[in-house]
Structure 1
Amino acid sequence: MTVTEVTISDVRAAAERIAGYVVRTPLLPAPWAPGDLWLKAESLQPMGAFKLRGATNAVHLLDPSVRSRGLLSHSSGNHGQAIAWAAREVGIPATIVMPAAAATIKVEAVRALGADVVLVPNDERESTVDALRLERGAAVIHPFDDVRVISGQGTLALEILDDLSEIDTVLVPVGGGGLISGVGVAVKAVSPSTRVIGVEPELAADARESLSSGRLISWDPSLTYRTIADGTRAPQLGKITFPLIQETVDEIVTVTEEEILAAVATTIRRARLVAEPSGVLSVAAYLADPGRFGRSVAVLSGGNIDSGVLKHALTV
């Protein structure tokens, strides 16, 4: 597989397709940070995260006859909310398989949007989706390893490049790789000299290890579930996202749990934006070493933070 799995034409078509369904989020300066930092505030999407882009694109690409049988997916939270939101917009049912350890706020949010939630042990998420698909004939939308989802996520990069010129670095949180692979395709097509740098927790650094070794490496969930950044606990990149990352991403760096919590607090206090631990990884990386990135855009990917985590971040 190569970068041709997803092209800039796919991303631009997705941008036209989802216009009017998602928010064109602001690119905000961060004058309180050293150097030259800007924040792409995807936390301001109506369901609180960038995932709405990919979910909306995928849903609208489904044949109506397939779509009418309902949607299935698995998610730790934000993708589930995005699928539930997109399904509600077109009037079809959705079922989201979620890990039993998912943040309560995210489980409740998926249910509030009208989707059914099936809670299972983390290692049974995909097998449960497969069983439900066979039973119901519903359409499955993978949370990250899906060209429709990847193309949709990449649309936020088009907005960044339209709003700001001469960007040295775009910093992107990494979980399963759907966001950074879409961003990488768009950035390298439009501004090839701009670096695309992924950020993940030290405690869930499978993507960094995969990129540096040149092969897909999986981490046991008992390791990835140590991080507070719940959106990055996928044990490995996808079979589609990994080759795209190899083609378009310059580097993947890691941050500590302490740096993540500090970035949550700083983003709230200085930028007046609420971000969850997974969503603030890019800010954490920039603040840890602002001198190395130049003029940077940090993708603030989500704001659906658990109240207990929020309290902890503001008191440490």
Structure 2
Amino acid sequence: MTVDDIRAAAARIDGAVVRTPLLPATWAASDRPLWLKPESLQPIGAFKLRGAYNAVARLDERVRRRGVVTYSSGNHAQAVAYAARAFGVEATIVMPDVTPQVKIDNTRGYGAEVVLVPIGQREAAANEIVADRGAVLVPPFDHPDVVAGQGTIGAEIVADLAGVDAVLVPVSGGGLASGIGTAVKALSPRTKVIAVEPELSATTTESLSADAAVDWPVERRARTIADGLRTQPSEFTFAHLREVLDGVVTVSEEQIRSAMAVLARKARLVAEPSGAVSLAAYLSRADQLPSGSTVAVISGGNVDPRLLADVLAERA
């Protein structure tokens, strides 16, 4: 997967995906200018639409008509459902039974069939459905077409803020960070790409330290409030992460919640926990980050309303 694949993806998704702006955070530190890339403004409320739409669009029409299947904690689920509806094909989505109800309802709202399973069984269940129905799997991150779609974010950042010093990107399965990193390093080699993940699901941090992919039990990763960051890189994405990341930092649960409140109150943006980790790093891990102009990718805004209310009430 290269920057040429990302350019092709950008042309393919043009008109179907919002080209999100860079929003200047005038309330941020004056010596470290900050811009927010609000992927929460996508039609499905998260960046996942880019990769899902690109992957579905790339399918041969005869293959696509057999239907698409995926497994996801929520945002990729909604993205595949949305893309499938756009192309007039059936979508079956396997979701963990602990997924926030708002994400389940939204996925069904796009016309997809939702199958709920225990969190550790979602991939196996999706593969069974593919085998039984002859449908095609659109994985959440472990596919070059998906990663290329996510990489369009990086190309937009470099086009809109030439010479940006650092880009902060949430990381979990690694598709977003791999795609953005590939685009940024090709188009602005001096820019540092820093991945951010929860302390309670720090598989990328540990893997890069060991220079080999490590495996955390799903129950261990599921402890974090950031439900969209409970997976871990595949061999494909980890190989890209090793090439394009300049570092990775972790943030605590309290720091994530605090960043959600800052986004709501100062940026007027609703962010889910996974979408707030990049700002959490900017606010709480400055000593571990490059200096200079910074972009924080706000990857999604599909938050349980009760959780958001609790976060804001805690910081009233």
Whether TM-score is above 0.5 comes out as yes
**Deviations 1:244-280, CA, capped at 9 Å, x for gaps:** 0000011110000000000000001000011100001
Corresponding position of 1:141 = 138
Task: Among all aligned residue pairs of Structure 1 and Structure 2, give the percentage whose two residues are the same amino acid.
Answer: 55
**Deviations 1:220-263, CA, capped at 9 Å, x for gaps:** 111111100000011x2111100000000111100000000000
Distance 2:215 2:277 in 1: 20
Corresponding position of 1:257 = 253
Corresponding position of 1:309 = 307
Tell me the matched-pair count.
Answer: 310
Alignment of 1:83-162 (within 5 A): 83-162=80-159
Distance 1:166 1:131 in 2: 47
3-state secondary structure, aligned to 2:36: strand
Distance 1:115 1:32 in 2: 41
Corresponding position of 2:168 = 171
**Does residue 30 of structure 1 match 2:25?**
yes
**Deviations 1:174-231, CA, capped at 9 Å, x for gaps:** 1100000000110110111100000000000001100111000111111111100000
Which of 277, 280, 286 is the matching residue for 1:281?
A: 277
Corresponding letter in the other structure for 1:255: V
3-state secondary structure, aligned to 1:118: strand
Distance 1:89 1:17 in 2: 13
Corresponding letter in the other structure for 2:304: D
Measured after TM superposition, the shift of residue 166 of structure 1 is 1.3
Distance 1:208 1:78 in 2: 23
Corresponding position of 2:298 = 300
Which of 7, 11, 19 is the matching residue for 1:12?
A: 7
Runs of 5+ unmatched residues, structure 1? 1-5
3-state secondary structure, aligned to 1:215: coil
3-state secondary structure, aligned to 1:240: helix
Distance 2:251 2:55 in 1: 31
**Does residue 55 of structure 1 match 2:55?**
no
Measured after TM superposition, the shift of residue 289 of structure 1 is 3.2
Corresponding letter in the other structure for 1:152: G
Measured after TM superposition, the shift of residue 290 of structure 1 is 3.6
**Does residue 208 of structure 1 match 2:191?**
no
TM norm structure 2: 0.97
Measured after TM superposition, the shift of residue 309 of structure 1 is 1.2
Corresponding letter in the other structure for 2:244: T
Distance 2:259 2:306 in 1: 16
Distance 2:309 2:205 in 1: 30
3-state secondary structure, aligned to 1:297: strand
3-state secondary structure, aligned to 1:217: coil
TM norm structure 1: 0.97
Corresponding letter in the other structure for 1:238: S
3-state secondary structure, aligned to 2:27: coil
Corresponding position of 1:248 = 244
Distance 1:204 1:228 in 2: 10
Distance 2:120 2:163 in 1: 43
Distance 2:215 2:248 in 1: 16
3-state secondary structure, aligned to 1:161: helix
Stretch moving more, 77-86 or 284-293: 284-293
Runs of 5+ unmatched residues, structure 2? none
